[in-house]
Structure 1
Amino acid sequence: MQPTIRLGLIGCGVAARELHWPALLQVRDVLQLVAVCNRTPEKAQALASLAGGIDWYRDWEALIARDDIAAVDIVLPATLNLAATRAALAADKHVLVEKPLAATLEEAQAMRALARAHPGKVLLVAENFRYAWFLQRLRQWLASGEVGRPYALHWHAFSHMTPDNRYIASGWRGSEAFPGGLLLDAGVHYIAVVRALLGEITAAQLDAVQVNPALGRYDGGCLHFETADGAHGSLNLYFSVPGHNEWRLVLLAERGTAQYDGRTLTLHHADGRVVSETRPDDDGYAAELRAFAEAIARGAGGSDFDEAWRDMRVIGETMAQPGRRVLLD
């Protein structure tokens, strides 16, 4: 039986409480949460109590100084990812860090350098879509060969995110320290899926807008992309849309079409067969934690920071040249 890895959690905000903690409950056989920290003591105390009265701290230095903690789960604003990851590695910890990889492309490069300097450590980014059931099922469907080559993907994501939304009320996504705003923060999810299904994105163009400055430099946009394998598509990501809410992925293959609305995946085949399946997972949160624990148990180290960089740079580089077709080598 795989030994339980003792884990510290850095950051006790809404994502830690509502996404990471429920997922940790599902993987208690491989990860044991033993301590949390947050600069606001009330948040740290509340999560420590929720987790059964475990230890809590106000700063990550005290948490990572503990020799009995082998790994940390960093659930902080992306503006703090580089500093927290650097400190955790200096304390000889394995690291799971929330996406996006960093606040800027320059900081993301620094994160990649940290990974290269610590090859014996497991360094993963909490990109839950990379582990989500719907993505694994779509990859299986394509790999079967029965629907032929995928050639296009179009994704509509429309919502109305107001400044008091609990996931953005902290304000860091609209700060100067995070110039990509909500479009970068959310956009990496969609890029990760496109790359997993269609291969590397080689060219892209972003037509972006700012409707609500509280959500950052851009809070909506249409990203047109092309891949090395000749596929194309669009990501329509708009987060200031009153009165309309839609989340729908459509994947086109030569002999089939897939649609996913966040709950139901429907697979259409050219011979008329239709298969509908309901999402059985938590969108990959538990699976990413289990993958983290299993990588540590294997003892070989390893990082997916380069993958997270490729997700991030598509948004970052096209955002730097809005309205222009950008080549991505």
Structure 2
Amino acid sequence: MSKLRMGVVGAGLWGANHAHAFNTLPETELVAVCDVDETRAAKMREATGAAVALTDYRALIARDDIDAISVATPDFTHSPIILAALKADKHVLSEKPLATTVAEAEEIAAAARASKGKLMVDFHNRVNPVMAGLKAMVEEGQIGLPRHGMARLSNTQFVPFDMLSWAAKSSALWFLGSHLVDILRFVLADEVVRVYAVTRKGLLAAGGVDTADVHQSILEFSKGTIVTMENSWILSRDNPSLVDFKLELVGDKGQVQADPTHNGGLRRVGEGGLRYADYIGVVPTGSTRIGGFVFESIARFVDSVVRGDPLLADAEDGLANTRILAAIETSAASGRAVDLS
């Protein structure tokens, strides 16, 4: 069987994950990499062994030797790349969020319905073992009907100040809330019908990153569950992990608590104090396999294209996600609740 010929758009940290997966899976071949920075594109080509390095995603999409692309560019840049690929009937794996405006997300969803190519959004926490276990508990009725809950997905200040050069053009809501909203929809198998949110700004802006410090949101679901959600970019750098991820649900028969923030079995104490290492997101494997839920999510895209398996998350999931995040922004700006029904 011929291999699925891949192109990766975006030569940053997550683009490197995509390239590694496509270089390792036996069903795929990494043909080309693309980045607006020519030097970065060239370095990625050299590191991955891809045949071609490009600076224009349109040139990549136009190639006859590309069957599918993955989009690992900043949050606010996804839409034109995805639309061009779908118009060319290429398969597309996009990092979250699908788009940062509802109009763009609606346009993408319509394009996905019309295209011969498949579109998957890389909501990789759907295959995070902790979250998969949480979903199973809820589905099996172990806590009864979920009545209320709290969810936190926040970063230390390292992320907006040091890790992301484009943080001022995004926020913790779009960068992290997109994951959290999706996993709540996934675990509860329910839709958000109403949101109320507040935000605060000051610390990041004073440091030269002009975006919100934190969004605090209340999400009401159609079956009655109420979840309080936090997305912050100002946690202390002294935290043992740059991410803090917690989810608790209280039902009428019990409650469940998930903390996939870190893997406490592997700890390092040294300069900077206590630090946790990840050993479930990315795990070592043999030369023809990938491991951990980060890579597993990418592999699910390949499974769908090559074998016809269901997409892990499709364009409609991406659209629903963007609608909720946009409603949170509207609520925070207006000081009023926003209905999505």
Distance 2:143 2:328 in 1: 32
Amino acid of the residue matched to residue 216 of structure 2?
Answer: C
Residue among 289, 306, 313 paired with 1:297: 306
- Contact 2:71/2:78 (CA < 8 Å) preserved in 1? yes
After superposition, give the CA deviation of every residue in 1:157-199 in whole Å (9 maximum; x if it has no partner).
Answer: 4433254422x11x2x423xxxx63322221100001111221
Give the distance between the partners of 1:295 and 1:105, measured in 2 at CA. 26
Q: Which residue does 1:146 correspond to in 2?
A: 142
Q: Verify: 1:307 aligned to 2:317, yes or no.
A: yes
Alignment match, 1:44: 41
Q: 1:68 to 1:299 in 2, by over 3 A?
A: farther
Query: In structure 1, what is the equivalent of residue 293 of structure 2?
Result: 284
CA distance in 2, matches of 1:76, 1:137: 30
Work out whether residues 81 and 101 of structure 1, in 8 Å CA contact, stay in contact via their aligned partners in 2.
yes
Q: Which amino acid aligns with 1:284?
A: F
- State how far apart, in whole Å, the 1-side matches of 2:85 and 2:258 are: 41
Q: Counterpart of 1:49 in 2: which secondary structure?
A: helix
Q: Does residue 94 of structure 2 align to residue 97 of structure 1?
A: yes
Deviation at 1:61, TM superposition (A): 2.4
Q: 1:30 aligned to 22, 27, 31, which one?
A: 27
Q: Which amino acid aligns with 1:319?
A: E
Instruction: Verify the 8 A CA contact 2:148 2:250 in the aligned structure 1.
Output: yes
Residue 90 and residue 174 in structure 1: after superposition, are their counterparts in 2 closer, same or farther (change >3 A)?
same
Structure 2 regions of 5+ residues with no counterpart?
265-277, 283-291
Query: Structure 1: any 5+ residue segments left out of the alignment?
Result: 266-277
Give me the whole-angstrom Cα distance separating, in 1, the residues matched to 2:281 and 2:221: 29
Q: Which residue of the other structure, out of 192, 197, 204, is the alignment partner of 1:206?
A: 197
Give the secondary structure class of the aligned counterpart of 1:186.
Answer: helix
Match of 2:109 in 1: 112
**C-alpha distance in 2, partners of 1:310/1:104?**
11
Q: Which residue of 1 aligns with 2:219?
A: 225
1:124 maps to 120
Q: Aligned-pair distance for 1:225?
A: 1.4
The match for 1:4 is: 3
Distance 1:196 1:294 in 2: 20
Please state whether the residue corresponding to 1:203 is helix, strand or coil: strand
Aligned partner letter, 1:305: A
**Per-residue deviation, 1:327:** 1.5
Matched, 1:192 2:182: yes
1:271 is matched with which residue?
none
Partner of 1:273: none
Distance 1:217 1:203 in 2: 24
Aligned in 2, Cα 1:295/1:256: closer, same or farther, shift over 3 Å? same
* Equivalent residue, structure 1, for 2:262: 263
Flag the 1:300–1:68 CA change in 2: closer, same or farther, 3 A.
Answer: farther
Q: 1:229 to 1:310 in 2, by over 3 A?
A: same
Q: 1:137 aligns with which of 133, 136, 151?
A: 133
Q: Does 1:325 align with 2:334?
A: no
CA distance in 2, matches of 1:142, 1:279: 25
2: CA distance, partners of 1:218 / 1:255? 35
Note if contact 1:159-1:244 (Cα within 8 Å) is conserved in structure 2: no
Matching of residues 151-162 of structure 1 within 5 Å: 151-162=147-158
The DSSP-based 3-state class of the residue aligned with 1:242 is coil
Distance (whole Å) between structure 1 residues aligned to residue 296 and residue 179 of structure 2? 16
Higher alpha-carbon deviation: 4-13 or 318-327: 318-327
Q: Which residue is equivalent to 1:270?
A: none
CA contact (8 A) 1:156 1:249 kept: yes
- 1:50-90 per-position Cα deviation (integer Å, ceiling 9, x unaligned): 11253211212222222121100011123322211122123
Percent of aligned pairs sharing the same letter: 24
Amino acid in structure 1 at the alignment position of 2:220: E
1:248 positional shift: 2.2
- Range that drifts further, 139-148 or 93-102: 139-148
Corresponding residue SS for 1:34: strand
Which AA in structure 1 matches 2:261? G
Deviation for aligned residue 1:264: 5.3
CA positional deviation for 1:200: 1.0
User: Within the alignment, does 1:70 sit opposite 2:70 as a pair?
Assistant: no
Distance 1:11 1:316, change over 3 A: same
Tell me: CA distance 1:279–1:255, structure 2 relative to 1, closer, same or farther (3 Å). Answer: farther
Deviations 1:118-171 (A, max 9, x none): 1x32111122123322222111222233332222221234433254422x11x2
Q: Is contact 2:195–2:219 with CA below 8 Å preserved after alignment?
A: yes
Aligned pair count reads: 306
- Is the alpha carbon distance of 1:243 and 1:86 closer, same or farther for their aligned partners in structure 2, counting shifts above 3 Å? closer
Instruction: Specify the SS of the correspondent of 1:12.
Output: coil
